[in-house]
């Protein structure tokens, strides 16, 4: 119902709305957006209104698709921008990996918050790899009808929390400074070559997420659970993982030096090639864990249960196995490594 009233407003007031917005100088923001895109890239103007931004991006030699839910605004924007503007609702977006950028300027702010999540996920699916979304909202906590249109407002803090609960998001080469991920559920979210500085992860849950080649600086706590996550190449040397429940996943070639796994129950984790130097596994149960090619300098496996773990090499002189329980493969590996050092 709110969607219909908002569209009715724009259909009835299309001419006056276009007149008041078409000449607004928005080039500073437009140029910041286009610098992040490849030359002659493909843009979706998602709720194009008067067609102001569509016309600008076309003048900069971008390929542009433009849509709007208002039939009257589609007509006005088509005439102004010189291309056919498609009448379409936001929820009807079904493109897959088509656009380098999606421009949603003062448009999706008209959706109810419970509709926004699904639309954001559709926008993400419509982006190519390394694609960019620009969107804008009015500042505040209000949600509801205002002057004949529906609005969902956000503060920075509320928008950060809202985005964190969207699935299938990819963050590439992003820097997060002072972000509070408190009790967030991150599902099927990917962070590639990202930096986290002074962030808080207390109570957060990472489920089937990727943290690839990421670094963490001055982060005071980490997630409550990490379920089937991939952390290849990430550096956790400044994070306290002692209270994290890790269930499965690929931690290959991660930097975990000096971290504490004492007494933990670790199952189905691939640590291949990870730097576990000075790591403490005292009393840990490592079921179906793969430690092949790990750096195990001064790693402590005292009293650990390694009977279902796999090793292919380690420095027997600096890796501590006092009182541990191992399978025959590990025992033979240890004997072989000791033999090499005695040669």
Q: Is 187 exposed, middle or buried (0-12, 13-18, 19+ CB in 10 A)?
A: middle
The pLDDT of residue 329 is 52
Tokens of 213: 């080649």
Average pLDDT over every residue of 285-313 = 90
pLDDT in tens, 48-58: 999 999 999 99
Per the CB < 8 A criterion, the answer to whether 250 and 270 are in contact is: yes
User: How high does pLDDT run on average in the chain?
Assistant: 87
Sheet with 215-217, edge to edge strand ranges: 175-177, 195-197, 215-217
pLDDT in tens, 172-218: 888 888 888 888 888 888 899 999 998 888 888 999 999 999 999 88
* Residue 324's pLDDT band (cuts 50, 70, 90): very low
C-alpha distances out from residue 124 to 102, 131, 248, Å: 9, 8, 27
Helix axes 71-81, 14-21, angle to 10 degrees: 40
Nearest CA to 137 among 122, 149, 152?
A: 152
For domain 2-159, the CATH superfamily is Vaccinia Virus protein VP39 (3.40.50.150)
Q: In CATH, what is the architecture of 167-342?
A: 3 Solenoid (2.160)
pLDDT in tens, 119-157: 998 998 999 977 889 999 999 999 999 999 999 999 988
> Which residue stretches of 127-274 are H helix?
156-164
The pLDDT of residue 2 is 60
Q: Is 214 exposed, middle or buried (0-12, 13-18, 19+ CB in 10 A)?
A: buried
* Residue 332's pLDDT band (cuts 50, 70, 90): very low
The owner of tokens 């504490």 is: 260
Q: What are the sequence ranges of the domains in the chain?
A: 2-159, 167-342
- Conformation bin of residue 295: beta by default, left when phi > 0, alpha when psi is -120 to 50: beta
% of the chain residues with pLDDT over 90? 61
Query: For residues 302 and 64, what is the distance between their CA atoms, to the nearest angstrom?
Result: 62
How many CA atoms does the CB half-sphere of 335 hold within 13 Å? 7
The pLDDT of residue 45 is 98
Three-state DSSP string of 107-136: CHHHCCHHHHHHHHHHHHHHEEEEEEEEEC
pTM of the predicted protein model: 0.62
* Residue 319's pLDDT band (cuts 50, 70, 90): low
Query: For residues 200 and 177, what is the distance between their CA atoms, to the nearest angstrom?
Result: 10
Average pLDDT over every residue of 37-48 = 97
Per the CB < 8 A criterion, the answer to whether 141 and 161 are in contact is: no
Same fold, 2-159 and 167-342: no
The pLDDT of residue 200 is 87
User: 3 by DSSP, 3-state: which?
Assistant: helix
Query: For residues 298 and 301, what is the distance between their CA atoms, to the nearest angstrom?
Result: 10
Tokens of 156: 């920075």
> Which residue stretches of the chain are H helix?
2-12, 14-21, 27-34, 52-59, 71-81, 113-126, 156-164, 328-342
The pLDDT of residue 315 is 57
């Amino acid at each position: 119902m709110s969607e219909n009233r908002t569209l009715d407003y724009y259909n009835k007031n299309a001419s006056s709305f276009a007149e008041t917005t078409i000449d607004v100088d928005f080039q500073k923001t437009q140029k910041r957006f286009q610098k992040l895109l490849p030359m002659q890239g493909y843009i979706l103007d998602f709720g194009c209104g008067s067609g102001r931004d569509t016309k600008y991006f076309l003048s900069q030699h971008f390929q542009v698709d433009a849509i709007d839910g208002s039939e009257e605004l589609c007509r006005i924007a088509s005439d102004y921008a010189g291309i056919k503007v498609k009448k379409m609702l936001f929820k009807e977006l079904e493109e897959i990996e088509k656009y380098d950028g999606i421009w949603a300027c003062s448009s999706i702010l008209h959706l109810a918050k419970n509709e926004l999540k699904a639309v954001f996920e559709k926008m993400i699916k419509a982006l190519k790899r390394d694609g960019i979304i620009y969107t804008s909202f009015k500042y505040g906590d209000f949600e509801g009808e205002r002057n004949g249109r529906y609005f969902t407002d956000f503060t920075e803090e509320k928008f950060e929390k809202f985005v964190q609960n969207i699935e299938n998001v990819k963050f590439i080469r992003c820097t997060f400074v002072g972000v509070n991920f408190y009790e967030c559920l991150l599902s099927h979210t990917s962070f590639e070559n990202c930096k986290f500085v002074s962030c808080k992860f207390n109570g957060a849950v990472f489920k089937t997420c990727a943290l690839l080649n990421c670094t963490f600086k001055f982060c005071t706590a980490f997630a409550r659970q990490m379920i089937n996550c991939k952390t290849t190449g990430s550096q956790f040397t400044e994070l306290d993982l002692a209270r994290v429940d890790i269930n499965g996943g690929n931690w290959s070639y991660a930097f975990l030096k000096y971290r504490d796994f004492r007494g933990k129950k670790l199952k189905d984790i691939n640590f291949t090639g990870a730097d576990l130097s000075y790591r403490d596994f005292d009393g840990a149960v490592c079921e179906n864990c793969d430690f092949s090619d790990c750096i195990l300098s001064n790693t402590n496996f005292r009293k650990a249960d390694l009977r279902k773990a796999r090793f292919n090499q380690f420095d027997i002189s600096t890796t501590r196995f006092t009182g541990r329980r191992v399978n025959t493969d590990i025992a033979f590996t240890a004997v072989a490594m000791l033999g090499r050092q005695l040669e």
